[in-house]
Structure 1
Amino acid sequence: MTPIEAKKIIERVDSIPLYLHAYAFHLNMRKERILPNDLLEIAKKNLLTGVKIHVEDGETRSLCRMNDEQLKAFGEKAKNYGLDLKIETSSSASEAIDKAVDIALKTQASSVRFYPRYEGHLQDVLEKVRVDIQYIKQQYEKTGLRFVIEQHEDLKSHELNSLVEEANFPNFSLLFDFGNMFNANELPLDAFNNMKNNITQVHLKDAVKVSEGKGFGHRAILSGEGDVPVKELLKQLICLGNDKPQIESFGLEEEVDYYAPAFRFYDEGDNPWIPYRGASETPMPIEGLDARLEKEIKDAMNQISFIRNIAQELKEEAKRELNM
């Protein structure tokens, strides 16, 4: 840790913007045992900055099933609790973006996350994504919403950088997920260093790298038990930005048992085929459902403590560096 990093850590670590992420409760929300309003209660109780929620989280009780009055009430409840809302959708196509933006505006959310899910040769996929980004820019640049594209397992860091930098769209940036770059055949720290100038949001999780031929999949695991250098990444993310923090949200996305296959490979060439992928989903257990749902909640709560403990470790290291 350098003196400059130590100073930033001490100034920022006690106020890093931690967000409850709905995917940490994915199985419970699929069974409708935890619903969007419950996330607000959990975030408030744990003194978090906000909530990141997918438009479909909660099935029949999800945001995309709410009417205008219900969306407004949800947004007002978040506001009364002092919580920021960030909306997520699993597509870059115009129809999905339109719906997510509509929900974001009606709930007074601050941003919309998306990721592309196109099949085809890489250069064709990138061109489709560029068209989608320009649609977002033309339609919604003046709404005040910020938009983030997540590196979601199939695109490499330099490709994502290019998408952001070519867009000429000030309210458009990258969301960095701690585990997703394994699938694009990149290591988390390498990908972070490539993308760090364009990252504004983060998904915190741990994962094990799964060797698959000439590439890697990943399986999410309890934070602290995987192959992701969580502490080093957290330190560097906190330190991004000179005059003020660059990262506006750290999403607590514990997602034990989530699996994603390899998408990019060592010998793929410069225009590989990108296969179609569905939206993220963790398999529902066949047996022991109640115990698994309880464990999911416990894991999510433990991640909050885990990240806060690491943050305090960084603070103590920073104090030692500065002889405080």
Structure 2
Amino acid sequence: MKSRFSFVFFIVLLITILVPVSASANESDYTVYINDKQLKTENAPITRDNAIYVPLWSVLGQLNMSAEDNNGVLKINHPYRILLIKSDQNMMTYFGRGMDEHNTRLDYPIISQDYVLYAPLTFLSEYLNMQIAYGENGRIDITAGDFSKDISWTTLSKNKYTIDTAAKKLYQDSVAESFWSNNPVLWNKNKLVGNVTLQEKYVQQTIVSYSGLTVTFVNSEKQYTVTFNSLETIANTFLLSDPLDNFTWSKDIKTLIRQGYARIGMTQEMAILSWGVPDDVNKSASKYLYSEQWVYKGSKFNNSYLYFDETGKITSIQN
């Protein structure tokens, strides 16, 4: 019994030695002081890409510096400028005291981790006028001025509109760039992509480059650049895959659908992929006959009609 206990104890001891204990999220090699006062925070500094990050809200709070959400963008009120930032994106817009607007890209953006925003020390020094000094044993000293100064100049109605507009644009540009980055290959829902008309829809569009809502594509036909006016327009323009891949229809049928044509004998599913969902549907039935009329309105179709029989196939087309 004693021998068995000794063996188990040895195994436990061996595992303890060989398997490193994970450091808690609050442990750090750095201790931060702001104006000689240790930073009060539940979130320790972290490192990423060889840069040191500190919890942003804790820093702003200790300096009595105001910040708020503005149209999904973080707005930081500095005595000499207003900064608009979206976390995990390198785009930033800021306004000087004279409301002169600047747009830049950060080498080290503000990041979010475990629902906490972290700012790189370079951001604090370059854009918030803080002095950073590195001491022994991981001590970091941040020296800052009085950031609780009057910033009422930012609340003027004309400035508020300008700031809100810039925040909305920054949010849209940031979300769009995330979409382009995560989906480098897309398929167009229609022939018209922005102001560019393509020969077919449901064709692979590969992203070449992008900046905000502006993106350059290349496909089997050509390379082109489009600037979209909203995120909703982007969502209504593209698919993440080719919808025709799910069907074993003939190549001829798929080509007609990509070109936006309807043909007698097509099914209702084919018709929807080619012409879209109809504006109106009229049904008529008798003892001997069933007919279904699909109505397409607007300048694109100029009141066109598809007629289906009881099997759900097109029997007649009226333009």
State the TM-score, normalizing by the size of structure 1.
Answer: 0.24
Larger helix proportion of the pair: 1
Query: Normalised by the size of structure 2, how large is the TM-score?
Result: 0.24
CA radius of gyration, larger in: 2
